[in-house]
Structure 1
Amino acid sequence: MFEDNDYKLYVIVNKNVDVATQMNATGHLCSGIMLKASDPCFHTYTNSDSELTAYLNNYPVIILQAKNSNQLSVAAQHCQKENILYNFFTTTMLAHSSEQQIQDTHATALEDLEFIAIAIYGETSKIKQITKKFSVLK
């Protein structure tokens, strides 16, 4: 078992959304949530032969799946209420420009947002109450 489990980054995707859109959302969510993290812990991995370098989070990244958009909406709202670091991605974020995406997201009622994925980052003990409802993505 991986030793550094004090914190985790979970990405939870809507299993009803196509994989390409899930992957797009996952990339955006991971980069965005780490900008919000107060003390991100990254390591540098360098290959001595080629000097290729990668930068990876110290803590596990786990991909889970939700049954539907509503499960993701409820989880995001729970994170907001409990002051848990989260990031979300909805279909309003698929428009032709960032400006349009921002406007569409702002103008859409919560119950009309179609969630594609959410990311949750924090102390494992604190976020387990939310993530235990989801299964590992297959």
Structure 2
Amino acid sequence: MNNLPDETKKRFVAVLNKKMDVGRTVNVLGHMSVGLSNLLTPDDAVYVDYTDRDNNIYSGVSHYPFIVLKADNSNKIRKVREEAITRGITFTVFVDTMIVGGSIVQQSKTRETPELDLNYLGICLFGETEVIREITKKFSLYG
């Protein structure tokens, strides 16, 4: 009936700085998720539609798992970013300079800030499950 790939082969993983309040956390996760989906090709991720018994359709739900983890601090997220770059993993990040003002102000503030001075609030990755697990195994589930 369906020709879906094995859903255990790939995954989305977000690692969020646990020092944020709930509102900021949800905002950061939303921004990173939308940004990451924009970086993916149609061959990367797989989305499925669900239909209930009344024929209502719930479209575009990820076939692959989306796991949300927490990090103790910015430096732990920085290390995940470095590892993602090294391994060629598709990712997006959100840093503290992306909070105040509109995107033009945020871009300017980010451009003026050395990387080591950035406070990483989150990273969102997509890729092969085993590779992602290797660099995120030290984090616990968010909750």
Cα distance in 2 for partners of 1:52, 1:94 equals: 35
Per-residue CA distance 1:3-49 (angstroms, 9 max, x = gap): 62110100110011111111001011111111112322111223352
Please tell me the root mean square deviation across aligned C-alpha atoms, in Å. Answer: 1.5
* Structure 2 residue corresponding to 1:23, chosen from 23, 26, 43: 26
Q: Structure 1 length as normaliser, TM-score?
A: 0.91
Does residue 63 of the first structure (1) align with residue 68 of the second (2)? yes
What SS class does the counterpart of residue 105 from structure 1 fall into?
helix
Cα distance in 1 for partners of 2:105, 2:117 equals: 17
Measure how far apart 1:74 and its partner are.
Answer: 1.1
Per-residue CA distance 1:51-80 (angstroms, 9 max, x = gap): 353321110000000010110011111111
- Within a 5 Å distance, the mapping from 1:102-121 to structure 2 comes to 102-121=107-126
**1:35 paired residue number:** 38
Deviates more, 1:114-123 or 1:30-39: 30-39
Number of residue pairs the alignment of both structures matches:
136
Cα distance in 1 for partners of 2:133, 2:13 equals: 10
Cα distance in 1 for partners of 2:45, 2:102 equals: 29
Cα distance in 2 for partners of 1:22, 1:74 equals: 19
Measure how far apart 1:103 and its partner are.
Answer: 1.3
Per-residue CA distance 1:76-135 (angstroms, 9 max, x = gap): 111112111111001111121111111112221111101111101100011111110111
The percentage of aligned residue pairs carrying the same residue is 30
What SS class does the counterpart of residue 53 from structure 1 fall into?
strand
Which consecutive residues of structure 1, in runs of 5 or more, have no partner in the other structure?
A: none
Cα distance in 1 for partners of 2:52, 2:111 equals: 44
User: Which residue identity lines up with residue 28 of structure 1 in the other structure?
Assistant: H
* Structure 2 residue corresponding to 1:129, chosen from 122, 129, 134: 134
Cα distance in 1 for partners of 2:62, 2:23 equals: 23
Over 3 Å off, 4+ runs: none
Which consecutive residues of structure 2, in runs of 5 or more, have no partner in the other structure?
A: 1-5
Cα distance in 2 for partners of 1:47, 1:54 equals: 11
**1:14 paired residue number:** 17
Q: Structure 2 length as normaliser, TM-score?
A: 0.88
* Structure 1 residue corresponding to 2:94, chosen from 83, 89, 113: 89
